[in-house]
Every structure is written in C-alpha cells, then in structure tokens.
Amino acid sequence: MHININITNYCNQKCIFCFAGAELKTEQIPKNMSLATFSRILAAHTDNKQKTIRLMGGEPCLHENLSGFLDLASKKKFQIHIFSNGILNKETVALLASYKDRVAYVFNISTPSFQHNVLVRNRVMRLISHFGQITNVGVSLTITPFTTTDYLEDLKTVCTSIHNVRIGVANPIAGEKNSYSLKDFPRFGSVMVNIISKLRAMGYEKHIALNCGLTRCMFSTTQFSYMKKHVEYMGWSCFAKEGNIDVSSDETAFHCFPFSREYRLPIKGRSLEATSNKLFAHHMQIWAQQKNSICKKCPHYGFGADRCPGPCLAFQHNQ
C-alpha cells in the first residue's frame, strides 16, 4: 500500500490535468498540514514492513515547515518520497540536498513551465542531474490523447541521472466533467508508444512504470505487445499490484482522487491500513454496479493476462 500525504494545497503551477484540482480549490481543508496532524498520520501507519510515505500536494516543497516534516519522518525511520515539480528556490534545494539519500524524488515534467519555458526546463533538469547523483530520482509524465512530446528531447542530457519514469493519463478531476471522451481513448496508445520509443532512443534503459487510469482499449494489439516489452508492470488502475490511500490536512482519507468529493473517511481511531481496506471495499461496490451495465459489454473485459477489469471507472462515472 502506498501512503500519499497531501501536506499542502499551495502550488506554483496550474496544470490543467491536475488530479488534485478539487483538493486545491476547496476552502474546507486547511491549506497547510500541521506538524501535529502529520505526526498523528505517521502514528496511524502500523505496517512496519512498508515504511514508505509519499509527500504530495499541491507542491509539497512550498510547505512552510518542510524541514520539520522531513525531520520527524526521518526520526521515525520512514523512507520518504517527495512528488515535486522541481521549480524550487535555492534555499529549498539546499535544504533538500542536506537530506541526501534519506529522501527520494519524483519530478513532474508535464507542468506548463517545464514544457514551454526553456529556462525553467533547464533549471529542473539541473536539479534532476544534481539529485540523481545522491539519491533515487524519477520523473513523471501525465498525458492526454493530444499530448505532444517535442520537449522530451532535452532529457537526453540527464538520462543517466533518472532512475525511473512514471507515465499516467490525465484522470478526471473530482466534481468536474471529463476533459476528453472515452472515444478518445485509442489515441493514448500512439502517444504512449511515442514517449517510450523516444526515451529508449535517447539511451534511457531503466524502469518505466504506469500510473493509474490506463485501459486495454487504449492500445492496439501491436502497441500492447510493445508496451509489455518496455513497461515494468502493465497493471490496470485499482487492480494493479498495490493500492493507494491519500490523506489530507483535515485528517480524512480517500482511495481515488476522482471520487474524493464523494467518499472519504476520518483516520481517527483506526490504522491507515484499516482505513484503506474500508475505502477500497467502497470503491469496489461502485465498480460492481458499473461492471454489469458497462464493463461486461467491453471486448477486453476480464481478469488475467491481456484482459482489462474496468479501470475506466472514474471516466464512466464522470460523464
């Protein structure tokens, strides 16, 4: 289980695909998580075999007490992953560098500034190169059916510093209509294959993994065969190897960002593992209702190799 802790709702970018868009806009959740809240969340994480947390947001590195969060998590022997856009000031970079390999990073390179501002792109790539020498660094790409990837060519200079690449689709934002239709899904295959082939051509030979929201119908048979050769795990969203739980500054948790406005649970009085199980059970109830009316009509439906059990749940739900 992955524990995502959303420590701030502040961000210095405005990505149109931001899966946390509803969280960032709401006034019902404190903008910044307190250190006391963070401590209670860590205490609720009882699985000593999996002591990894992921600090997210917003832009987690904008939190005014970032060092306090990192110090507390380090003291409690957690492995820390930070999901950041890498557009940081010098003071923050120096602070993060002081933690060396106690913190790993995934840098989002699909932000408007990284794609369209060469100065920002070079700044983030210098950060990737620097941190890649002292700790584990990954990059994350979020795509739509219409994504262009010309800017990826510049990654060639930092390929050796990148330890893993994550690729995901722009999922629905809670409370908003889909930004593209299910009829656009087949376009994803060519975008995904184009990205992966570019990465391999520029010399990137390490892990490529997929985020949630992918469906079998996005790929032709040829594209799907190509993906299986180059992607670490071809899992389908909620049905992949591990699930996620997201915890916000109001000490409530949810299982899936597109459903975050509809069903979330307070973590008080139970472990994060117990909360995750309850959230997942509710998510599966929604899927069960959709399964008979929609999923079983799909020619790719099913479990097992090359089959798809229905991770387009949020897209169907948001139509």
**What is the CATH number for 194?**
3.20.20.70
Longest Cα pair distance anywhere in the chain, in angstroms?
A: 55
Task: Give the Å distances, CA to CA, from 81 to 31, 137, 206.
Answer: 21, 9, 19
Cα→Cα distances 27→22, 30, 96, 266, Å: 10, 7, 29, 18
Q: Take residue 120 and report the two structure tokens written for it.
A: 């920002």
CA-nearest of 161, 95, 98 to 124 is: 161
Q: How many domains does the chain have?
A: 1
Rg (alpha carbons) of the chain, rounded to whole number: 19
Give the domain extent around 154.
Answer: 2-318
Read off the amino acid at residue 38. F
Give the global pTM: 0.92
User: How do the pLDDT tens digits run along the chain, 319 residues long?
Assistant: 789 999 999 999 998 888 777 777 777 788 999 999 999 999 999 887 778 999 999 999 999 999 999 999 999 999 999 999 999 999 999 999 999 999 999 999 999 999 999 999 999 999 999 999 999 999 999 998 988 888 888 899 999 999 999 998 888 777 777 778 888 889 999 999 999 999 999 999 999 988 877 888 889 999 989 998 898 765 555 554 456 789 999 999 988 887 788 889 999 989 999 998 898 888 888 878 777 777 788 888 887 767 787 667 777 766 6
CA 161/CA 144 separation, integer angstroms: 26
Distance in angstroms (rounded) separating the CA atoms of residues 156 and 98: 27
What is the three-state SS of 213-235? CCCHHHCCHHHHHHHHHHCCCCC
| Residue 123: count of CB within 10 angstroms of its CB | 16
- Closest C-alpha to 189, from 169, 218, 214: 218
Note the Cα 313 to chain centre separation in Å.
17
Query: In this structure, are strands 244-247 and 207-210 parallel, antiparallel, or unpaired?
Result: unpaired
